[in-house]
Structure 1
Amino acid sequence: MKAGKVIAAIVGAFFALLALGVLIGGGALLIAQQTLQDDAGFFNSPSYRLDAGGYAIVVDEIDLASYPGDWWPSDVDATARLSVRAGNGSGVFVGIGRQEDVDEFLSGVAHSVVRQLGDRWDAVRLVDRAGGSVAGIPADAGIWSSSIQGEGEQILSWEPQRGRWAIVIMNADASERVSISAIASARIPILRPISIGLLVAGILLAAFASLLLIAATRSSVTPSQTGESPLDRGAFPTTVAGKLDEGLSPVLWLIKWFLVIPHCFMLAFLWAGFAILTFFAWIAILFTGRYPRGIFNFNVGVLRWTWRVGFYTYNALGTDRYPPFTLRDVDYPARFDVAYPERLSRGLALVKWWLLAIPHYIIVGLFTSGLYAWTMGSHATDNAATKVGGGLILILTIIAGFILMFTGRYPRGLFDLLMGLNRWALRLASYVALMHDEYPPFRLDMGGEEPSSSGKVK
């Protein structure tokens, strides 16, 4: 790959990762507005039950850009709301004031400070402060930026301002023992234009990244011109091959996780590009029935790169040769390719990547992360020992590593089994990435090479 294409691939992958983050952020923000806001545009907390034996319940240290130099969006329209209902049926007072004024007002007064709010009523934690009674009713204190009192549900609305604030909840007559239920709410209208702006920016970044990535993978060079041996294809469009090297180091596998950190860094960017380009390919298939060749080459290259790294490390430990930093098919013990489809079904593109692939997702999930998933399902995650686990591929690879360490040999049968498991997973990956319409078979084709159309390993 020429230097210009390398630079285009790196820059494109960076912008793809950036675009993916921006799109996820904008989409999540927009979904939150659609699903979590009420009819008035407020985000609402759960209802909290607060009971205190003193004269007040305080939510203190609400710091809104109180320090010099702190940025504060003074032109942003925002509203905070607190809905409070007295649990004992009496009148309730709710006020918000400057922290220093509230501290002075409650100095020497028995009250409780909120220190924890969970998603359940029993997750609330109050810290009691000793003291005596309050002097006078709270409504006459003259320190409130906003306040309200009365019987039944009381709703305090307040436009946030710069400073340190505290919320005080008391009985309206300043009597002892405060018992209330409360819901906190916030309305920030600017969130909608922000989310739309993020989505637009993400789409533009994704388009720019796609152009760079497609340009980086365009090539008129054939394998015969590069001296690479052609892959022996099987009956399935996806070809997964691996050659077990002789003389593997008994201990190198212990540090391969560290050696591939540069590859993991690169793959994080490349997979962001993969996700974005697959979406664009999906749109193209729906309208044209064709998978854009430039996107196809890039996505196959990402899967190929991932397979080489996995073959070197903890998907197989099949070689000690360090994986090359390239998307192209080069001379390496692990090979991967997908036959380019001339036409693809528009209808299958709508369902094959999620609905049709569900049975395979379950099976491949056991290969890659099954034990962790099962411990999660058994509600045993509070036990640290049950959190340590992995899929069948990882477990078998670690077993192979220990056998190699103590005997100096890699059992051929175990390698063939690992190749079959990885082949199944990669066939599924190419299918759900829309690269072909052929449904992955429910069989374990073991061995380093693809089986022929007759089902025999070549």
Structure 2
Amino acid sequence: MTTYTPPPEPGRTASRRNRPVPLVIGILLALMGLPLLLGGLGLGWAVATQRDDDGFFSTPTEQLSTQTVALSSEVVNLGKAGPNDWWADHHPATVRLSARSEGARAVFIGIAPSADVARYLGSASYDEISDLRSDPFEYSLTRRGIGGDLSTPPTDRRFWTAQASGPGTQALTWDVKPGTYTAVVMNLDGSPGVDVDLSAGGRLGWLTPLAWSRGLLGGALILGSALLVVYGARPPGPRVPGQASPGQPPEGARPDTPVTLVGAQDPQLNRGLWLVKWFLAIPHFVVLARLWLVFAVLTVVVFFAILVTGRYPRGLFDLNVGILRWTWRVQFYATAATGTDRYPPFTLDHTDYPADLDITYPERLSRGLVLVKSWLLALPHLIVVGVLVGTWQFGDAHGIQFAVGGLIGALTLAAGLLLLFTGRYPASLFDLLVGLNRWVYRVTAYIALMTGTYPPFRLDQGPAEPHGVAATPSTPDAPSTTGFESPVEERHPRREVKA
């Protein structure tokens, strides 16, 4: 006997072997490569623009003063010298201290082992600088020593590791080595009353190679990630055009935008449940936080895929559409419409939930527009979206404050208060909220490179898209329908025929 399997039904495609391993590895490589690439670019920018002509990163010049004989730093411990301190002979860092006396006195700057400095200054009084802050510039002084004057000026001592002295501006440079050190600023003659303008700087010779290595490694990981993701997410062969499922409109009646968002309001909503929906939805928020990290990384990968191939990998497209769909269901339940009391499912797929979202897959996308569509072309829409979902803060800066998530958040709060005190959720307000969310998701899909169709400047209110699929709300006796559900798959028995 030979087993015979019927061919796939019209409108369905034969299954193919998935390649999840390259897809998962590609996503992991992107998660590792993106921080490396951004870190390399940031270091390169700092090396190219923030150093002076001598290669030092410097602090602003600030005035410090004391009535004692010296200003000293805290003890800096750079480790003990030993046979394994390979960096001691390679000079990985150089310190520069610059000082200029406010009066006519000459200034002395020195760095020496902490024990020698403590013995030399201990016979007098000096101030140790601590808790140094740059913005705003603040510092604390701790009095050290037993009082009195110094027996000799600092230049007569031979324990200084590095020193500079004289009138005007003096600069000391020192290659960092293992040991315990203290920096000191004094008058050249060792007299009390030090008043100087001081700045510090550092030079790290390994920053440039580090920036290049991080950037190149991150770029290589991103490129490898893109290749693996494109390979693992390649779409199946050409789809067989299918007839419209029962309850769905024909092709000509589909929405005129690639983004289809629907939401059906429950006929009976609990008056007070909306007050705790945000708490009930915390598990969803935790999952969505991680999914949106994946969404952002995949969008970067897709950017390069479109730039090279002009196509959005189908597997990644379906995943990102699922993340948007999940987000809309949670927002519809808890934060942006509160249109249903039915708890959202934990799934990326279409369900019978009263809120749903779908985006038409673009067969081809412009390689050139991908460079400007997300920020330049979308700028007018981004201003509108900022008004709709940007945070609005109210209240006194020193009193009670509260914030809402833009116009959508304010209207959702108003709908909740009306429901709490009157038991009614005006249909016109619900239609407006769904329309505003529809605008946001159309723009989101466009800037996320998921469509090449520019979002219309049009507020389509109501639970359904114009000329689109109408959703029906959930009832105790029947689940909701959004028109996106796949029809129940008929199981055909395996027929046996004689060979």
Report TM bin, short chain. Answer: 0.7 to 0.9
Residue 44 (structure 1) aligned with residue 58 (structure 2): yes
1:214–1:295 CA contact under 8 A, matched in 2 = no
C-alpha distance in structure 1 between counterparts of 2:309 and 2:113, whole Å: 63
C-alpha distance in structure 2 between counterparts of 1:250 and 1:218, whole Å: 46
Residue 153 (structure 1) aligned with residue 169 (structure 2): yes
**2:321 aligned partner:** 300
**1:87 aligned partner:** 102
- Of stretches 302-311 and 197-206 in structure 1, the one that deviates more from structure 2 is 197-206
C-alpha distance in structure 2 between counterparts of 1:409 and 1:351, whole Å: 45
Correspondence for 2:38 among 24, 43, 64:
24
**1:329 aligned partner:** 350
Residue 123 (structure 1) aligned with residue 137 (structure 2): yes
C-alpha distance in structure 1 between counterparts of 2:269 and 2:229, whole Å: 39
C-alpha distance in structure 2 between counterparts of 1:160 and 1:255, whole Å: 58
Residue 174 (structure 1) aligned with residue 195 (structure 2): no
1:229-378 matches, within 5 Å, as 233-372=254-393
1:214–1:298 CA contact under 8 A, matched in 2 = no
1:396–1:418 CA contact under 8 A, matched in 2 = yes
The alpha carbon displacement at 1:187 in A equals 1.4
Label 1:7 to 1:189 Cα distance change in 2 as closer, same or farther (>3 A). same
The alpha carbon displacement at 1:436 in A equals 2.4
The alpha carbon displacement at 1:170 in A equals 0.8
**1:139 aligned partner:** 155
Q: Which runs of 5+ in 1 are unaligned?
A: none
* Secondary structure in structure 1 of the residue aligned to 2:417: helix
2:81–2:178 CA contact under 8 A, matched in 1 = no
**1:416 aligned partner:** 431
Query: 1:134 is aligned with what amino acid?
Result: L
Residue 162 (structure 1) aligned with residue 178 (structure 2): yes
Query: 2:71 is aligned with what amino acid?
Result: I
The alpha carbon displacement at 1:386 in A equals 5.3
- Of stretches 70-79 and 130-139 in structure 1, the one that deviates more from structure 2 is 70-79
Query: 1:176 is aligned with what amino acid?
Result: P
Query: 1:49 is aligned with what amino acid?
Result: Q
Query: 2:434 is aligned with what amino acid?
Result: M
C-alpha distance in structure 1 between counterparts of 2:241 and 2:75, whole Å: 67
- Of stretches 26-35 and 103-112 in structure 1, the one that deviates more from structure 2 is 103-112
1:213–1:298 CA contact under 8 A, matched in 2 = no
C-alpha distance in structure 1 between counterparts of 2:410 and 2:81, whole Å: 53
C-alpha distance in structure 1 between counterparts of 2:381 and 2:411, whole Å: 20
Label 1:254 to 1:180 Cα distance change in 2 as closer, same or farther (>3 A). same
**1:443 aligned partner:** 458
Query: 1:169 is aligned with what amino acid?
Result: V
- Of stretches 14-23 and 167-176 in structure 1, the one that deviates more from structure 2 is 14-23
C-alpha distance in structure 2 between counterparts of 1:7 and 1:290, whole Å: 21
- Of stretches 111-120 and 187-196 in structure 1, the one that deviates more from structure 2 is 111-120
Query: 1:264 is aligned with what amino acid?
Result: F
* Secondary structure in structure 2 of the residue aligned to 1:281: helix
* Secondary structure in structure 1 of the residue aligned to 2:320: helix
* Secondary structure in structure 2 of the residue aligned to 1:234: coil
Q: Which runs of 5+ in 2 are unaligned?
A: 1-17, 469-481, 483-499
* Secondary structure in structure 2 of the residue aligned to 1:241: strand
Label 1:116 to 1:333 Cα distance change in 2 as closer, same or farther (>3 A). same
C-alpha distance in structure 2 between counterparts of 1:9 and 1:343, whole Å: 21
Q: Deviations over 1:229-283 (max 9, x none)?
A: 7698421121121122344344443343344444333333333333333233333
Query: 1:81 is aligned with what amino acid?
Result: R
Query: 1:62 is aligned with what amino acid?
Result: V
Residue 102 (structure 1) aligned with residue 117 (structure 2): yes
The alpha carbon displacement at 1:306 in A equals 2.2
2:235–2:313 CA contact under 8 A, matched in 1 = no
The alpha carbon displacement at 1:93 in A equals 0.9
1:84–1:180 CA contact under 8 A, matched in 2 = yes
* TM-score of the superposed pair, with normalisation by structure 2: 0.76
* TM-score of the superposed pair, with normalisation by structure 1: 0.82
Query: 2:365 is aligned with what amino acid?
Result: L
C-alpha distance in structure 1 between counterparts of 2:412 and 2:28, whole Å: 32
2:91–2:177 CA contact under 8 A, matched in 1 = no
2:112–2:159 CA contact under 8 A, matched in 1 = yes
* Secondary structure in structure 2 of the residue aligned to 1:124: strand
**Identity value in percent:** 42
C-alpha distance in structure 2 between counterparts of 1:205 and 1:83, whole Å: 43
1:27–1:199 CA contact under 8 A, matched in 2 = yes
Query: 1:350 is aligned with what amino acid?
Result: L
**1:426 aligned partner:** 441
2:22–2:231 CA contact under 8 A, matched in 1 = no
The alpha carbon displacement at 1:207 in A equals 5.3
Q: Deviations over 1:172-213 (max 9, x none)?
A: 111222222222111112223333333344345545665469
The alpha carbon displacement at 1:40 in A equals 2.9
C-alpha distance in structure 2 between counterparts of 1:318 and 1:223, whole Å: 35
2:30–2:221 CA contact under 8 A, matched in 1 = yes
C-alpha distance in structure 1 between counterparts of 2:260 and 2:403, whole Å: 33
- Of stretches 167-176 and 333-342 in structure 1, the one that deviates more from structure 2 is 333-342
